[in-house]
Structure 1
Amino acid sequence: MLKDKNVLFIVRTMGLGGTENVVLQLCEILKNHVNKIVVCSSGGVHEVFLKENGIKHYTIPDIASKKPCDIVNCILNIKRIVKDEKINIIHSHHRMAAFYAQFINCNNIVKIASVHNTFFDKKILTRFAYKNTQIIPVGNVVSDNLKNFYGIDSTMIHIIHNSVKPFNGLQKHIRILNDARSSGKALVGNIGRLSEQKGMSYFIRAAQIVLQKHSNVVFFLVGEGKLKESLIQLAEEKGISKNIVFMGYRDDIQNVISQMDFVVLSSLWEGLPLTPIEAFSVGRTVIGTRVDGTPEIISDGINGYLVEPRNVKELASKICYLLEHQEIKQELEKNAMKTYLEKFSFERMSLKYLTFYQNF
């Protein structure tokens, strides 16, 4: 019975990121249906959430580290955790987490791996990592990648889309957004880690083009990351720093998005991104790049728009179009909310995970 099971989540960090948010969601979904949940990672800010919810966290070396000492320590630590906590189910959230799970030699332990992105490397390692493992890709593109590139048996693959909880509709005051709105500005956001993957530099370059036509727009980058200083410098070089605001990390993303006109997702690659789902859940449309799983969420011209990655002019053109066509934007917003409710609701995801876990 599921109520008797002890579940171990292995994830790279408990810091800021979409994968970490999925782990937190699963903790919430499963905590009243299993005996115990344990998480191991290299740590991060979300350890506080785990502690508040009575979920034990073990700190281990970075599972992506290639240092021999870290590799050995990861194997030994995970083996010890599995033994001490009497783990029945290991649920990995990184390819290397699944790799380490393979060193647990026990026929009674169920191995599950969530796959959050597409990859095109390390075939031998990946096939080993996912051997005798039930795999949960977050979308169709990720599933196809596993089957077509890595040759994973389709009977071991079970697609479950990501989701976010519904927004309660209560907007909390954010001064910087309220001030911009009060001064007659349009608010365009981009949510995500300030990393190469998220393509924030293309967002800033597109903003420069937009501002030549619409000077009353403020562009908000919500997130932290290694590229922050270079992005600040880019905005200064383009002469648009007054219209570019770095909001830093926020733990109220739906609240933030609900106070913006629309959102841009400028990613160069994705698995199944959370940002469009977060935007749709508060009735906001999204201009996203046509990469990987993003078109599974955004239907071009129906609930948002798709543009080619790195195409600054096309992105700028779509931003201008939404700024200039409010009635069309409102129709997209209506369909965005419909998409969330019908395909990506938290209730739908929760039911799918609980049904899946009941098999073990």
Structure 2
Amino acid sequence: MKLKKQNVLLFARTMGQGGTERVVLQLCDILKPRVNKIVVCSNGGVNVKKLDNMGIEHYQIPDITGKNPLDIIQTIAILRKIIKKEKITLIHSHHRMAAFYSKILTTNHIIKIITAHNIFKDKIRLTRWAYKSTNIIAVGNEVKKNLTTIFKLNSNKIKVVYNAVKPFKEESEKLDIFESNNLSGKIIIGNIGRLSRQKGMEYFIRAAVEVHESFPDTFFLIVGAGEDELKLKVLTKVLGAEDFISFIGYQENVQNIMTQLNFVVLSSLWEGFPLTPIESFSVSKTVIGTNIAGTDEIIENYRNGLLVEPKDYISLAEKMKELINDTELIHTLEKQAFVDFQTKFSFEKYRKDIIDFYNTMVAKHEK
């Protein structure tokens, strides 16, 4: 059965904010004209509306990370109905538990693909079982290394396909926050990501306080939502930083926001292969990121951005001050960042790699 005849199920935990969810949307964009049918299942989120706009059916399912036996049985029953109703021939999972459910529910007649988005060291037996006899995409070399060293998976069965984003071709549209806070002429630094422990926003806030003491004309935007929002807002208030740190919530077009920033910070404690630096590079903005696996594949210290150790907010503050003081350095980093976007992380390259991978997996399955 050729690719054009495949009925594809993209299986994610959520369709909320985040890099994984954006990858699912990218796959929908790439695959819709090339397969017979494409549907998505998840426990929902803000990006379901985008699926609707694309004319792609979304099936709401329970959170696949739930451990209640009754929920697991219910989820299996729901997924079985979706697979049968849509006559699914290929399942592409985007979470370890999605791969687990896919393996339980399918036979060898259905092609199984998993994209590994993150680096883990837990649930070794479950992960190995779920990924075995599944075609694996790793979003970066460090993710692949994690799969082979921690989970002992066959390196030859793992294909690295770098994440990517589409170029920003629109006119920049100023947000209300820029007008309401009179930010004209100020140095604006942004951090974009889910408000969770993973993204290390606490350390960005503490670093921002240090920077503002030396540079009163700085303003800091935190873009995103999440479970730690209240805690982070309380910290901002306790540190007396409410006048120069603003939480603007989830924003759909982060590239538009990035065009209006002086530079971007990514303060994550762990990643797989984050989209934020790539999005920044796509609009010629440099990034100060944490020196962690995945991020260090994108950001090269003093070449296209700067790296600091995670949780070290003093060093992060010093790097921000360095960029504020050295406009020539910023321009050098920005120029290389955009070159790297075009050569390594372009959407066209990603599209080609995905189509090639799908065609290879379908051809292998036919043998």
After TM superposition, the score normalised by the length of structure 2 is 0.96
Report how far residue 202 of structure 1 moved. Answer: 0.2
Measured in 2, the distance between the counterparts of 1:100 and 1:154 equals 23
Measured in 1, the distance between the counterparts of 2:40 and 2:176 equals 36
Q: Given residue 82 of structure 1, which amino acid in structure 2 is its aligned partner?
A: I
Name the residue aligned to 2:331.
Answer: 330
Q: Is the 8 A contact 1:219 1:245 kept in 2?
A: yes
Output aligned runs, 1:259-338, within 5 Å.
259-338=260-339
Output aligned runs, 1:183-222, within 5 Å.
183-222=184-223
Measured in 2, the distance between the counterparts of 1:183 and 1:97 equals 46
Bigger shift: residues 101-110 or 305-314 = 101-110
Deviations 1:28-86 (A, max 9, x none): 01100000001111112222221222211111111111111111112222122112111
Measured in 1, the distance between the counterparts of 2:104 and 2:276 equals 35
Name the residue aligned to 1:141.
Answer: 142
Tell me the matched-pair count.
360
Output aligned runs, 1:51-130, within 5 Å.
51-130=52-131
- Percent of aligned pairs sharing the same letter: 50
Name the residue aligned to 2:43.
Answer: 42
Q: Is the 8 A contact 1:285 1:303 kept in 2?
A: yes
**SS of equivalent to 1:268:** coil
Name the residue aligned to 2:229.
Answer: 228
Bigger shift: residues 48-57 or 152-161 = 48-57
Question: Which sections of structure 1, spanning at least 5 residues, go unmatched?
Answer: none
Q: Given residue 347 of structure 1, which amino acid in structure 2 is its aligned partner?
A: E
Measured in 1, the distance between the counterparts of 2:268 and 2:183 equals 30
Q: Is the 8 A contact 1:209 1:316 kept in 2?
A: yes
Report how far residue 173 of structure 1 moved. Answer: 2.0
Measured in 2, the distance between the counterparts of 1:178 and 1:295 equals 35
Deviations 1:74-99 (A, max 9, x none): 22221221121111110000000000
Deviations 1:201-241 (A, max 9, x none): 00010011111111110010000111111111111111121
Bigger shift: residues 225-234 or 187-196 = 225-234
Q: Is the 8 A contact 2:61 2:75 kept in 1?
A: yes
Bigger shift: residues 177-186 or 26-35 = 177-186
Question: Which sections of structure 2, spanning at least 5 residues, go unmatched?
Answer: 363-367
Runs of 4+ residues over 2 Å off in structure 1 = 177-184
Name the residue aligned to 1:26.
Answer: 27
Measured in 2, the distance between the counterparts of 1:214 and 1:179 equals 20
Report how far residue 105 of structure 1 moved. Answer: 3.6
Measured in 2, the distance between the counterparts of 1:295 and 1:119 equals 17
Report how far residue 183 of structure 1 moved. Answer: 3.9
Residue 105 to residue 231, structure 1, CA distance change in 2 (3 Å): closer
Measured in 2, the distance between the counterparts of 1:79 and 1:305 equals 47
Q: Is the 8 A contact 2:119 2:272 kept in 1?
A: yes
Q: Is the 8 A contact 2:178 2:184 kept in 1?
A: no
Report how far residue 180 of structure 1 moved. Answer: 5.3
Deviations 1:299-340 (A, max 9, x none): 100000000000011100000000000011001000000010
Measured in 1, the distance between the counterparts of 2:181 and 2:297 equals 33
Report how far residue 181 of structure 1 moved. Answer: 6.7
After TM superposition, the score normalised by the length of structure 1 is 0.98
Measured in 1, the distance between the counterparts of 2:99 and 2:347 equals 25
Report how far residue 253 of structure 1 moved. Answer: 0.3
Report how far residue 104 of structure 1 moved. Answer: 2.4
Measured in 2, the distance between the counterparts of 1:106 and 1:348 equals 32
Bigger shift: residues 180-189 or 107-116 = 180-189
Measured in 2, the distance between the counterparts of 1:262 and 1:357 equals 36
Measured in 2, the distance between the counterparts of 1:257 and 1:34 equals 34
Q: Given residue 219 of structure 2, which amino acid in structure 1 is its aligned partner?
A: V
Q: Given residue 244 of structure 1, which amino acid in structure 2 is its aligned partner?
A: I
Measured in 2, the distance between the counterparts of 1:106 and 1:208 equals 56
Name the residue aligned to 2:365.
Answer: none
**SS of equivalent to 1:242:** coil
Q: Is the 8 A contact 1:197 1:268 kept in 2?
A: yes
Measured in 2, the distance between the counterparts of 1:283 and 1:49 equals 26
Q: Is the 8 A contact 1:181 1:187 kept in 2?
A: no
Report how far residue 182 of structure 1 moved. Answer: 5.0
